[in-house]
C-alpha cells in the first residue's frame, strides 16, 4: 500500500530555532507539493517540484523558508528561524501532475512557542 | 481571481439526508475541479473531480454538479452517513500561465448525525 510518509509527525520548538520537515513521496511520482494548513488560511500551496526541479515557490516566505529535493525519494522543508506564526500543519503530497490526484501525507503538526 | 469561495463553513445533516456544499470561482481559465475529503488528523484525500466539458459527474453517493456559465460547482452527498463526517475542500486549477497550482476553498466541516 504505497503512501506518502512525513517526519516528524509532531514538532514543538522555540522561536528562533531551525525546523526541518521531511517527506518521502510515493515511489514513481514525479511531482511533490508542500502545503500549509491553518484554521485562518486553510490549505495554502507553499512550493512544488517536478522531477526534483522547483517549479513554483511563490507561496513560500523566502526569507525563512526553503524547500529542496536532494533526491527522488526525499523532499525537505526548512524554516530558519522559526516564528510562532509558522505554527500549522504542513502537508507533503505527491502525484504525476497538478491536474491528477495528489496523494497527501499525514502531515507534520508544528508548534512554535 | 485565484480564489475559490466555498460555503457553508459548516453543515449538520441527519443520517440519510442530502449534503450540499457549494463553490464559486472567478478565473475562467480554471479547467480542473477536484473535491478532497479530510478526516481529523489525516491528510486530504481526493474524493471526486470534474472537468468543465461535463455538467455532472457521479461516483456512488457523491455527485459533482458544474455550472460553467455561473462559475459554480457543488458537491452533493446522497444518503449521508455518519462515516461521511469530515471536512470537504473544493479546489481548482489551470494549466495556463505555466503554474499548475491547485487553489483550495476554505473547507466545509460536515457532521452527519445518526
Q: Which of B31, B102, B107 sits opposite A45 (nearest CB)?
A: B102
Does the CA dihedral B37-A90-A60-A76 come out positive or negative? negative
List per-residue pLDDT tens for chain A, 113 residues long: 789 999 999 999 999 999 999 999 999 999 999 999 998 889 999 999 999 999 888 889 889 999 999 999 999 999 999 999 999 999 999 998 767 789 999 999 999 99
Q: Do A42 and B41 touch (CB under 8 A)?
A: no
Q: Give the chain B residue nearest A47 (alpha carbons).
A: B101
Q: Which domains does chain B have, with CATH numbers?
A: 4-113 (2.60.40.10)
CB pairs under 8 A between A and B: 52
Q: Do A56 and B42 touch (CB under 8 A)?
A: no
Q: Do A56 and B101 touch (CB under 8 A)?
A: yes
What are the cell numbers at A25? 513521496
Q: What is the mean predicted confidence (pLDDT) over B26-54?
A: 94
Per domain, the residue ranges of chain A are 5-112
Query: Over the stretch B72-83, which tens digit does the pLDDT of each residue have?
Result: 999 999 999 999
Cα–Cα distance for residue pair B85/B1, rounded to 1 Å: 30
Predicted confidence band at B98 (pLDDT cuts at 50, 70, 90)? low
What are the cell numbers at A95? 502525484
Main-chain phi, psi angles of A48, to 5 degrees: -150, 155
Which CATH code for domain A5-112? 2.60.40.10
Amino acid at each position: 500500500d504505497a503512501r506518502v510518509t512525513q517526519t516528524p509527525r509532531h514538532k514543538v520548538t522555540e522561536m528562533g530555532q531551525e525546523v526541518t520537515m521531511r517527506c518521502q513521496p510515493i515511489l514513481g511520482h514525479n511531482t511533490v507539493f508542500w502545503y500549509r494548513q491553518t484554521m485562518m488560511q486553510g490549505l495554502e500551496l507553499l512550493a512544488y517540484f517536478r522531477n526534483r526541479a522547483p517549479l513554483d515557490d511563490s507561496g513560500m516566505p523566502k526569507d525563512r523558508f526553503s524547500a529542496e529535493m536532494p533526491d527522488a525519494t526525499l523532499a525537505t522543508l526548512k524554516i530558519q528561524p522559526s516564528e510562532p506564526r509558522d505554527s500549522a500543519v504542513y502537508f507533503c503530497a505527491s502525484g504525476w501532475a497538478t491536474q491528477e490526484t495528489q496523494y497527501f501525507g499525514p502531515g507534520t503538526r508544528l508548534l512554535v512557542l | 481571481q485565484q480564489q475559490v469561495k466555498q460555503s457553508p463553513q459548516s453543515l449538520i445533516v441527519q443520517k440519510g439526508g442530502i449534503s450540499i456544499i457549494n463553490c464559486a470561482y472567478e478565473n475562467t481559465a480554471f479547467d480542473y475541479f477536484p473535491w478532497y475529503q479530510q478526516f481529523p488528523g489525516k491528510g486530504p484525500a481526493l474524493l471526486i473531480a470534474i472537468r468543465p466539458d461535463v455538467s455532472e459527474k457521479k461516483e456512488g453517493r457523491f455527485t459533482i454538479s458544474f455550472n460553467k456559465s455561473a462559475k459554480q460547482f457543488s458537491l452533493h452527498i446522497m444518503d449521508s452517513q455518519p462515516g461521511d463526517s469530515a471536512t470537504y475542500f473544493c479546489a481548482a486549477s489551470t494549466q495556463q500561465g505555466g503554474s499548475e497550482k491547485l487553489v483550495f476553498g476554505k473547507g466545509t466541516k460536515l457532521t452527519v448525525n445518526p
